[in-house]
Amino acid sequence: MDRFFPDKILKAILIDRPNRFVVNLSIKGRLFGASLPNPGKLGELFIPGSILYVQEMRSEVKYPYRVIGVESAAGEVIMLDTHTNNRIAEYLIATSQIPSLKEYRVKKREVAVGHSRFDLLLENSANELLYCEVKSCTLFGGRLAMFPDAVTARGKRHVEELAQMADSGVKTAVVFVIQSVNIQYFVPDYHTDPEFSETLYQSRDKIKIIPVTAGWNEQLELQQEYREVPILWDMYESEGNSDRGSYLMLFFLEEEETIDMGDFGKQNFKPGYYVYVSYEAQNLKKLIERHKRKRKNCLNQRDYLRNKAKLEMVWPVRSSIDDSCEINNTISEQSVSEVGNFDSLFCSCSSHLHYFEDNPRLNRAFQEMILDYRMRYPLKRREQ
């Protein structure tokens, strides 16, 4: 085992996450705030009650603890500290644990090139240089890992610049440190960030793209089970390369509301959360952006609801098949009730809108369902 955290690691229980970089947690029944050095969404990991791994801060800072890990639904410890990620990559390169980079050693950290800064500059015995960017991957569904879990304009720009450098004869690489030893495959997250995914796909013959696994134990020691995993470009081509698929919209109503839906009549809505499911055969991204805006001319029941309710979240599920009704039925089983005859004229479903008293984003079964349709089921289709 290799230690990256010499200080004692404490376990805590997640209470909530008020913003991207702060969490509230409980240690032995006492409540504390803690910093979170990870800007990802982490929705499938940050379920209230989840076990966190934290480090006590020695210096006087705003928060007494820093979150460095979280326990997944499967009981696996997932590293969250992005500041540690480069140290992991350096260690794996220095110990020749990454076959694609076994001839290289780290020459310099944080190297500026033009308007960007790359994580590592490597050099081999022939004095050939290689510029390397390192990304931490924490999004898993079964045996598959994806990156990113949030839109990353910075990540897209880095890939574009590395590809341009490669065009001029400079060697470049992107290392995805997958924070799990149970992963067998990698693919860019075309659901969350199709632009980054397409940029990576188009650069695949120019840049070394290297996903490598790195798992952790409860003492936050790095387990010596490192390996490169294949990238499923064929899965990207079949499932995510076209702008089509299902989408889920999460609405919130703070108070009871009777909504006049024009030709659809008036309908009463209880306070709480509503999940709407539909499908788009083309231009899914533009459709979602249009649905995020309120409309003067409402075309269907969803538009009327959108004008009154707060839109909390949208989940695209890009796919080679229309699985919206299957997703809809799965959500129906998890919800408290459904709003009858809501946008279900063109299928056998009784409704495409489902009611939850509590936020389903904070429900592990709901998050696992999204991982199923985004990651596990497409992988099964590929292997059939």
Q: What CATH number does residue 193 fall under?
A: 3.40.1350.60
What is the predicted pLDDT for the residue at 298? 86
What is the predicted pLDDT for the residue at 6? 67
What is the predicted pLDDT for the residue at 2? 62
Q: Is residue 368 domain-shared with residue 249, that is, in the same domain?
A: yes
What is the predicted pLDDT for the residue at 300? 87
What is the predicted pLDDT for the residue at 38? 87
Neighbours of 76 (CB within 10 A): 17
Listed as ranges, residues in the chain with pLDDT below 50 are 1
Q: Is residue 104 domain-shared with residue 202, that is, in the same domain?
A: yes
Domain boundary among 41, 57, 79: 79
In whole angstroms, give the CA distance from residue 244 to residue 317.
Answer: 8
What is the predicted pLDDT for the residue at 343? 83
Burial label, 116 (beta-carbon count in 10 A; 0-12, 13-18, 19+): middle
Q: Is residue 260 domain-shared with residue 331, that is, in the same domain?
A: yes
Q: Residues of 150-159 as b/e, b for ≥16 C-beta within 10 angstroms?
A: eebeebbebb
Domain boundary among 56, 79, 102: 79
The domain containing residue 47 runs over which residues?
Answer: 2-79
> Residues near 33 by Cβ (< 8 Å), separated by ≥ 6?
22, 23, 24, 25, 62, 63, 64, 65
Looking at the 3D structure of the chain, how many domains does it have? 3
Half-sphere exposure of 379 (CA within 13 A, CB side): 19
Q: Is residue 105 domain-shared with residue 162, that is, in the same domain?
A: yes
Alpha-carbon separation of residue 165 from 100, 148, 245, 266 (angstroms)? 19, 23, 34, 59
Q: Is residue 270 domain-shared with residue 328, that is, in the same domain?
A: yes
Domain boundary among 195, 213, 240: 240
What is the pTM for the complete model shown?
0.93
